[in-house]
Structure 1
Amino acid sequence: MAENKVLGERVGDVLRSRKLTMGTAESCTGGRIANMITLVAGSSDYFVGGVVSYSNEVKQHVLGVSEESLRQHGAVSREVVEQMAQGAIRTLGCDCAVATSGIAGPGGGTPEKPVGTVWIAAALKGEIVSHCFHFGTVRAENIQAAADAALTLLLDLLQKQHG
Structure 2
Amino acid sequence: EVKTRVLNVSSEILSGFGAVSRETVLQMVSGVQRLLSSDCAIATSGIAGPGGGSVEKPVGTVWIAVRYGERSEVECFCFEGDREQVIARATQSALLMLIQLMTK
Q: Which residue in 1 is equivalent to 2:73? A: 129
Give the count of matched residue pairs: 104
1:59 and 2:19 equivalent? no
Q: What do the CA deviations read for 1:59-99 (whole angstroms, capped 9, x no partner)? A: 01100111000000101000001111100011111111000
Q: Aligned partner of 2:60: which letter? A: G
Alignment of 1:58-97 (within 5 A): 58-97=2-41
- RMSD, matched Cα: 0.6
Deviation at 1:124, TM superposition (A): 1.2
- TM score, norm. by length of structure 2: 0.98
Where does structure 2 lack aligned partners over 5 or more consecutive residues?
A: none
Q: Distance in 2 between matches of 1:151 and 1:116?
A: 18
Larger Rg over CA atoms: 1
Alignment of 1:1-163 (within 5 A): 57-160=1-104
Q: Distance in 2 between matches of 1:155 and 1:137?
A: 24
Q: Distance in 2 between matches of 1:136 and 1:71?
A: 27
Where does structure 1 lack aligned partners over 5 or more consecutive residues?
A: 1-56
Q: Which residue in 2 is equivalent to 1:33? A: none
Q: Percent same amino acid at aligned positions?
A: 54
- TM score, norm. by length of structure 1: 0.63
SS in 2 for 1:157: helix
Q: Aligned partner of 1:80: which letter? A: T
Q: What do the CA deviations read for 1:108-139 (whole angstroms, capped 9, x no partner)? A: 00000000000000011111100000001410
